[in-house]
């Protein structure tokens, strides 16, 4: 099933958003924000992040499956009990106006869909709003987050 966020407005340049989102090595700069009691054994490279999440019992990978400059970055989750892909679309409207939309395609078993759909939709909308507020332009200049 596909789930889409609402469209969020960012005051960041699409090129800077793309540069940050298309290089997973950037996670190293915010790795300290990940809950240490929930995320262990994290390995980060430019196109892949592998981590062990408490309660999941196995390492999963998040890889960049596809990307198109200043347009979209698509991620896939590997070794997950549920197949998941997610992509972030960017639509530049002006130099300092980029619209963002998140889409998740997850093969959620039917009996769990009803319980998770509303929470997943709320989470996607919140994630879109958080991404829209992220200081991508400052990040590219090397400012700390």
Report CA-CA distances (Å) from 2 to 37, 130, 139: 31, 20, 30
Instruction: Please check whether residue 35 lies inside any domain of the structure.
Output: yes
Query: Which of 118, 93, 77, 66 minimizes the C-alpha distance to 8?
Result: 93
pLDDT of residue 53: 83
- Mean pLDDT for the stretch of residues 68-91: 94
Residues sharing a CB contact under 8 Å with residue 14, sequence separation 6 or more, in sequence order: 70, 90, 91, 92, 98
What range does the domain containing 48 cover?
2-140
* CATH number assigned to the domain comprising residue 46: 3.30.530.20
Domain-embedded: residue 145:
no
Total of domains in the chain: 1
Answer whether residue 23 is part of any domain: yes
Q: How far apart are CA 50 and CA 78, in angstroms?
A: 9
Q: What is the pLDDT of residues 94-145, one digit of tens each?
A: 999 999 999 999 988 888 888 888 999 999 999 999 999 999 988 866 655 5
- 59 forms bridges with which residues in the sheet? 52
Q: Write out pLDDT tens, residues 12-48.
A: 999 999 999 999 999 888 888 888 888 888 899 999 9
Cα of 9 vs its chain's centroid, Å: 16
On whether the pTM is more than 0.95, the answer is no
């Amino acid at each position: 099933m596909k789930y889409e966020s609402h469209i969020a407005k960012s005051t960041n340049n699409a090129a800077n958003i793309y540069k940050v989102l298309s290089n997973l090595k950037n996670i190293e700069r915010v790795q300290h924000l990940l809950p240490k009691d929930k995320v262990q054994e994290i390995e980060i490279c430019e196109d892949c992040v592998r981590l062990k999440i408490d309660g999941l019992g196995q390492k999963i990978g998040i890889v960049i499956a596809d990307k198109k400059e200043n347009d979209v970055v698509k991620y896939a989750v590997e070794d997950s009990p549920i197949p998941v892909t997610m992509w972030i679309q960017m639509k530049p409207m002006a130099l300092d106006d980029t619209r963002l939309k998140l889409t998740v395609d997850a093969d959620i078993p039917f009996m769990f869909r009803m319980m998770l759909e509303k929470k997943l939709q709320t989470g996607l909308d919140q994630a879109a709003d958080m991404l829209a507020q992220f200081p991508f332009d400052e990040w590219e200049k090397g400012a700390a987050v």
